[in-house]
Amino acid sequence: MKLARRTFVVGGAHSPFIGKHHPDFVWKKHPDFGKRENPTLQEHLFTAARGALEATGADDGSAIDKAYVGNHVGELFTGQAHLGALLAGAAPGLALKPIMRVEGACASGGLATVCALDAIGAGADLCLVVGAEMQTTVSARQGAEYLASAAHFATQRAIDEFTFPALFARRAARVKAETDLTEADLDRVILKAYANGNKNPLAHMHAVKLDPATMADSPRFLGNPELQPHLRMADCSQVSDGGSAIVLASEEGLKKLGKSPADAVELLAYGHAAAPLEGDPADMLAMSTSAAAAKSAYESAGVGPEDVRVAEVHDCFSIAEVLMYEAVGFAERGGAAKIIREGATELGGRIPVNTGGGLMSFGHPVGATGVKQILEVTRQMRGECGDYQLPERPAVGLTANMGGDDRTAVVTILRRG
């Protein structure tokens, strides 16, 4: 979609992403077990929202015209729904503002951003977008049932108790069988994610070092015997709690905050596509919905994949990152292995992807992810990424957020101010 008015990312904030394997995360084997609690969904939502308001000079929120919350299944993991009204309590100036929650599985954050972009096109000057999810309230196995609501539950839940890992194991099996992609290529994508996360203090897996020599030993935990060989724990994104928030502004909105376009990152265009939820993907070897969203975003922005210098793509599993390289045009169909072997998507490469660790290492608090991606590209463009900052601040960036097995996709294109 071409935007009706120029729109800018003014700034934002993340709450620290947390879950099992994070040193601060309290679980039954943690020394603080019984002494303190992990942050709640409300705390992640409020921390991110307040951080974004403070970082952009929007302070108590009274300048915000509209706000949107991206969240997938808050009511299942925490009992809490009605998150638009919850957010109204994050800052005094947000009370009585028009705020709503938006749901689109793991693309909820991307969709919340789309709503804000449309609102700015329709006349709003300042929008707050917050994504948040809490998933550590239950075991990973129970959580897998809740997350299976992002698939066609009636027909796909039974593929495995870990429904989504199994759906992507199925893709990995087909891609490995029908292209030259190998498990060693997937290892390189995973090792990149963890190496980047090791440089990012906000990453869920910041403290976890992966040993290249032991990748093959990572547990193959699926119960489905046909799919079990094709997915390891190391291939998976994390069960994370977290929140991310951004403030979007029109040119008038920037003025209200005392800022100019040079202070911000311009969001040039977005693409949004949805494919029927029921049934197998149209093409098991491609992310066709994400590709459609990317095509629309590029055409509207007037840029192409060759212009992109940094990207955040949806790596819910290592195979998803690989297929995303092709969906957004960084590689041709079947050509992702080549760019992986060249190191093109690593921090020192031609198109660094998921520089803070992606969903596999930075973490995947589902509803937050699409918002987090936009903030990460913004931070790279502004030189705010600390140890994982790219040496040259990228001029053009892309985000690709996906829900279900590639059934809802949101792609954005950003340009440095």
**Residue 237 contacts ligand CAA per CB under 6 A:** yes
**Residue 99 contacts ligand CAA per CB under 6 A:** no
Residue 111 or 381 with smaller CB distance to ligand CAA:
111
User: E strand or H helix at 2, and its extent?
Assistant: strand 2-14
Site for ligand CAA in 330-369 (CB under 6 A): 364
Is there a contact between 323 and 171 (Cβ–Cβ < 8 Å)?
yes
**Could you tell me which residues come within 8 angstroms of residue 296 by beta carbon, excluding any fewer than 6 positions away?**
1, 269, 270, 271, 272, 273, 411
CA distance 314 to 293: 13
Active site residues: 106, 364
Strand partners, 271: 411
Smallest gap from Cβ 331 to ligand CAA, in A, equals 21
* Residue from the set 18, 94, 130, 150 that interacts with ligand CAA by CB under 6 A: 150
Is there a contact between 325 and 291 (Cβ–Cβ < 8 Å)?
no
**Residue 275 contacts ligand CAA per CB under 6 A:** no
Give me the residue label for tokens 């897998």: 144
**Residue 165 contacts ligand CAA per CB under 6 A:** yes
Residue 106 or 227 with smaller CB distance to ligand CAA:
106
CA distance 358 to 252: 33
Residue 152 or 350 with smaller CB distance to ligand CAA:
152
The encoded tokens of residue 297 equal: 């975003």
* Residue from the set 156, 200, 238, 318 that interacts with ligand CAA by CB under 6 A: 238
- Binding-residue pattern over the window 207 to 236 for ligand CAA, x denoting contact by CB under 6 A: ------------x-x-----------x--x
Site for ligand CAA in 294-323 (CB under 6 A): 316
The encoded tokens of residue 116 equal: 């804000």
**Could you tell me which residues come within 8 angstroms of residue 259 by beta carbon, excluding any fewer than 6 positions away?**
10, 57, 249
**Residue 403 contacts ligand CAA per CB under 6 A:** yes
The angle subtended at Cα 373 by Cα 74 and Cα 113, nearest 5°, is 65
Residues that bind ligand CAA (CB under 6 A): 20, 105-106, 139-141, 144, 147, 150, 162, 164-165, 219, 221, 233, 236-239, 316, 364, 403-404
